[in-house]
Structure formats: C-alpha cells, structure tokens
Amino acid sequence: MLALVALMMVGCDKMMPDGTYRNDGSSYRTYIIDSCEYFGILDWGNGNFLAHKGNCRFCKERRQKELNKLVEQLKETISYGSARESMGK
C-alpha cells in the first residue's frame, strides 16, 4: 500500500522553489542519507515515510564506476588471452 502511494506521488510531482515537491496538496522533500537520495515526508508525526529514489544520482555514479572497472578488467583479460595465443603459435 505504501509503495502504491509513493508511486502515485512520484508520477505527478512539481518541484517548488523551496526544494519540496508537491502532489495533491501534500509535499515531500529529497533527503541525502548515507550517500543515497531518498524522498519522503518527515514532518507529519505518524505519517512519516522515506523511500529510496529509483534515479538516485549517487547510486548511478557508483554503478558507472563499477561498470568502468569491469570493462577495464575484461579488456585486460582479453588482451592477456590474445598475448598468450600469439606466444603459443
């Protein structure tokens, strides 16, 4: 149920000048916690919630670094294999 509410809020939000997002009269903010972006409401008492943003820029940067590292390792492996083949001939 909470995921459905969060999904509905993300679909039709409008960023306000103060950095909050508004949707159907409620507002929520983006928070940075432990190098990740979350959106939610932390001022409603019992209605507080946070959800990790699917487009978190920090996670995107980490994934890109990991991908670059894997590509470099793959290139080294291919290069090493080609060198071994040419030596064996």
pLDDT, tens digit, 9 for 90 and up, residues 28-46: 788 888 889 998 887 766 7
Q: Diameter of the chain by CA atoms?
A: 74
pLDDT band at 5 (very low <50, low <70, confident <90, very high): very low
How far is residue 71's CA from residue 44's CA, in Å, rounded to a whole number? 46
Residue 7 has pLDDT above 50, yes or no: no
Structure tokens at 27: 């507002």
Secondary structure of residue 19 in the 3-state scheme:
coil
Q: What is the 3-state secondary structure (H, E, C) of 24-78?
A: CCEEEEEEEECCEEEEEECCCHHHCEEEECCCCHHHHHHHHHHHHHHHHHHHHHH
pLDDT computed for residue 73 by the predictor: 93
Whole-structure pTM over 0.85, yes or no? no
